[in-house]
Chains A and B, each alone.
Chain A
Amino acid sequence: MKFSTSSLRTVALGLPLVISLALAGAASAKTYNLLNVSYDPTRELYKDVNAAFIKQWEAKHAGDKLNIQQSHGGSGKQARAVIDGLQADVVTLALHYDVDVLYSVAHLIPKDWDKKLANNSAPYTSTIVFLVRKGNPKKIKDWGDLIKPGVSIITPNPKTSGGARWNYLAAWGYALRLPGGNEAKARDFVKKLYKNVPVLDAGARGATTTFVQRGIGDVFLSWENEAHLAINELGPDKFEIIYPSVSILAEPSVAVVEKNAKRKGTTEIAKEYLNFLYTEQGQDIAGKNYYRPRSAAALAKYKANFPDLNLFTIDEVFGGWAKAQKTHFDDGGEFDKIYVP
Chain B
Amino acid sequence: MNKYNSQFKIWSGTLSAVVALSGTLVVAHAQSNDSLTQRLDALDQQIRVVARLNEIAQEDAKAAAAKAGKAFAGEGGFSLSSADGACTLKFRGFVQSQGQYFKGNAGTVSQSASVPSTNPDNTRSIEPVGAYTIKRLQPDFSGALGKQFDWRVQVNLAAGTVDLLDVNLDWKIRPELNLRVGKFKPPTGLERLLATPRAPFVEGSFVTALQPNRDLGIQLFGELFGKNGGQGLVEYQAGLFDGARDGQNNTTDNNNDKDLYVRLFSNPFARTDIDLLRGFSVGVSGSRGYHNDYNSPAVRAVVGSSSNAISGTISVTVTPSVTNGIASYSTGRQTFFSYNNTDDTSEGLLTRLSPQASYYYGPLGLIAEYTQTTQTVRLAAFSNDLTNTAWALTGSYFLTGEKNAYKSIKVKTANTFPTLEGLGAVEILGRVHSIKIDDKAFKALSTNLGQRYADPAKSASAALGYGLALGWYLNNNVKIFASYERTDFTGGAGVSAKTSTTPASTAAPVVKDRDAEQVVTASFNVAF
Residues of A at under 8 Å CB distance from B? 1-4, 6-7, 10-11, 14-15, 18-19, 21-26, 152, 198-199, 201-202, 206, 210, 214-217
Contacts and interface: CB of A to CB of B under 8 A. Distances in A.
Interface in B12-65: 45, 48-49, 51-53, 55-56, 59-60
B257 A210 contact: no
A130 to B, nearest CB: 18
B397 interface: no
Contacts of B262: 14, 18
Contact of B52 (A2, A10, A25, A199): A199
Contacts of A19: 177, 220
A4 B289 CA distance: 8
Interface of B: 45, 48-49, 51-53, 55-56, 59-60, 174, 176-177, 220, 222, 224-226, 236, 238, 240, 256-260, 262, 288-290, 349
Nearest to B220: A18
A26 B176 contact: yes
A210 B256 CA distance: 72
A11 B259 CA distance: 10
A22 B226 CA distance: 11
A68 B48 CA distance: 38
Contact of B177 (A7, A22, A210): A22
B176 A4 contact: no
Nearest to B234: A21
Contacts of A3: 240, 256-258
B225 A25 contact: yes
B220 A25 contact: no
Contacts of A202: 56, 60
Contact of A22 (B49, B52, B53, B176): B176
A199 B53 contact: yes
B48 A215 contact: yes
Interface centre among A4, A11, A199, A201 (most CB of B within 10 A): A4
A152 B240 contact: no
Nearest to B46: A198
A24 B51 CA distance: 57
A216 B54 CA distance: 14
Contacts of A210: 52
B56 A1 contact: no
7 contacts: A3-B256, A10-B260, A22-B174, A199-B52, A199-B56, A210-B52, A214-B48
A223 to B, nearest CB: 20
B257 A4 contact: yes
B385 to A, nearest CB: 15
A152 to B, nearest CB: 6
A264 B260 CA distance: 34
A274 to B, nearest CB: 27
A5 to B, nearest CB: 10
Given A14-B238, A22-B177, A206-B56, A152 B45 contact: yes
Contacts of B289: 4, 7
Given A15-B220, A214-B52, A4 B290 contact: yes
B470 to A, nearest CB: 42
B56 A201 contact: yes
Nearest to A137: B41
A209 B238 CA distance: 57
Nearest to A150: B42
A264 to B, nearest CB: 13
Contact of B260 (A7, A23, A198): A7
B176 A11 contact: no
A99 B288 CA distance: 57
A10 B256 CA distance: 16
Given A21-B224, A199-B52, A7 B288 contact: yes
Contacts of B51: 214
A6 B220 contact: no
B253 to A, nearest CB: 10
B52 A7 contact: no
Contacts of B60: 202
Given A6-B288, A7-B260, A21 B236 contact: yes
B257 A7 contact: yes
A23 B48 contact: no
Contacts of B56: 199, 201-202, 206
Contact of A18 (B48, B226, B238, B258): B238
Given A7-B260, A26-B174, A216 B238 contact: no
A71 B12 CA distance: 78
B176 A23 contact: yes
A25 B177 CA distance: 11
A199 B177 CA distance: 52
B176 A7 contact: no
B260 A22 contact: no
B177 A23 contact: yes
A149 B226 CA distance: 67
B226 to A, nearest CB: 8
Contacts of B240: 3, 7, 11
Nearest to B53: A199
A309 to B, nearest CB: 30
B258 A7 contact: yes
A168 B262 CA distance: 67
A213 to B, nearest CB: 9
Contacts of A24: 224
A6 B45 CA distance: 84
Nearest to A6: B288
A18 B220 CA distance: 9
A25 B236 CA distance: 15
Contacts of B53: 199
A150 to B, nearest CB: 8
Contacts of A6: 288, 349
Nearest to B174: A26
A210 B240 CA distance: 63
Nearest to A198: B49
A104 B177 CA distance: 37
B184 to A, nearest CB: 18
> Which 3 interchain pairs have the tightest Cβ spacing?
A22-B176, A22-B177, A2-B256
A210 B49 CA distance: 9
Given A199-B52, A206-B56, A216-B49, A11 B260 contact: yes
B45 A216 contact: yes
Given A4-B290, A11-B260, 4 more contacts: A2-B256, A7-B258, A25-B176, A216-B52
A12 B46 CA distance: 77
A3 B258 CA distance: 6
B49 A1 contact: no
A152 B259 CA distance: 78
Contacts of A1: 256, 258
Contacts of B222: 22
Contacts of A22: 174, 176-177, 220, 222, 224, 236
B48 A216 contact: yes
A210 B48 CA distance: 9
A18 B236 contact: yes
A208 to B, nearest CB: 12
Contacts of A214: 48, 51-52, 55
A45 to B, nearest CB: 24
